[in-house]
Amino acid sequence: MEIYKFAQETILEAGKFIRQRMTEEFNIDSKQNPNDLVTDVDKETEVFLNNRIEERYPDHKIVGEEGHGRDITNTEGVLWIVDPIDGTLNFVHQMENFAISIGIYIDGKPYAGLILDVMKDDLYHAAFEHGAYKNDQLLPDIDESHLQSSLISTNTNWVIRDGIKTPFIEVVRNARSTRSLGSAALEFVNVARGTSSAALFYRLHPWDFAGGAIILNEVGGLTTTLIGDDLRLLDTNSIIAANKTIHGEITKHFIKDELFIQNHKKFHRL
């Protein structure tokens, strides 16, 4: 549990670093398109985390969203998967509702997940088979729920996208209502806290889901692709994070849609 304890201390320090850094000026650039933003704070926080981890554990591997560990192609050893700021658009536009997310895997198996809601300074964390916590408070197992009486979260971009939208529309129509927070890591947290019953994404990167999947598993939730397959840890995946009952109800809509299946296969190079 030494690595787990160190990870908790380190993510809290990184949160402090971000809150301090936000009081100073920083640059905002775009990456793959004008709405895909990255700031100096994303990059500096990744460096901050890498330096801490490498100093303490020189033999551990680190994959970070802002470029660290791009050459890593296997999951042998201790692997840290880090998103220095998950919810950069919220960081830029709202100055809240963003997180640091860390997933630690040993030989490809879940070891610990940590998500820090930076502005609230609330740390959600879990070690595999040791329960999930909000700060020092144990989170209870989540309730099972049916789609028709549940709040679910998804990004409307997927619901209007030709070629994949049919099952998304069916799911949204059958749910009580939808929400969209804008930080995948915090959407995982909401499912783990039971304030949302399912979170759906057409594409997430490893750093978006690596921490959340471990935390959710500890409260009895399930994370798979939208068609119910296991996640590939070093690749993009479609994702459903949910309680087990609603997970079955939702994935049915995706599995039966031939057009969705074809496009999903192409998009994720399956």
Name the residue nearer to ligand IPD (CB basis): 184 or 234.
184
* Stretch in the footprint of Ca ion (CB under 5 A) among 85-93, 193-201, 228-236, 246-254: 85-93
Using the rule CB under 5 A, is 117 a contact of Ca ion? Answer: no
**Interface stretch with ligand IPD, choices 21-29, 182-190, 235-243, 257-265 (CB under 6 A):** 182-190
Q: Does 183 bind ligand IPD (CB under 6 A)?
A: yes
Residue 155 binding target from Ca ion, ligand IPD, none, CB below 5 to 8 Å by type: ligand IPD
Integer angstrom CA distances of residue 52 from 6, 41, 48, 79, 113? 10, 16, 6, 14, 17
* Closer by beta carbon to Ca ion, 14 or else 246: 14
Q: How many residues bind Ca ion (CB under 5 A)?
A: 5
Complex with Ca ion: residue 100 or 127, whichever CB lies closer: 100
Residue from 15, 64, 87, 211 that binds ligand IPD (CB under 6 A)? Answer: 87
Stretch that binds Ca ion, among 67-75, 79-87, 221-229, 241-249 (CB under 5 A): 79-87
The partner in contact with residue 66, picked from ligand IPD, Ca ion, none with C-beta cut-offs of 5 to 8 angstroms by kind, is none
Q: Min. distance of Cβ 208 from ligand IPD in angstroms? A: 5
- 184 is an interface residue for ligand IPD by CB under 6 A: yes
Segment 48 to 67, residues that bind ligand IPD, using CB under 6 A: 65
Minimum distance of ligand IPD from residue 86's CB (angstroms): 4
Q: Provide, rounded to whole angstroms, the least separation between the CB of residue 37 and ligand IPD.
A: 8
Sequence-distant (6+) residues with CB within 8 A of 29 are: 37, 38, 39
| Contact with Ca ion (CB under 5 A) among 45, 46, 64, 65 | 65
Question: Across the strands, what pairs with 219?
Answer: none
∠ CA 213-173-247 to the nearest 5 degrees? 25
Residues making contact with Ca ion (CB under 5 A): 65, 83, 85-86, 208
**Interacting residue ranges for ligand IPD, rule: CB under 6 A:** 65, 83, 86-88, 155, 182-184, 204, 208
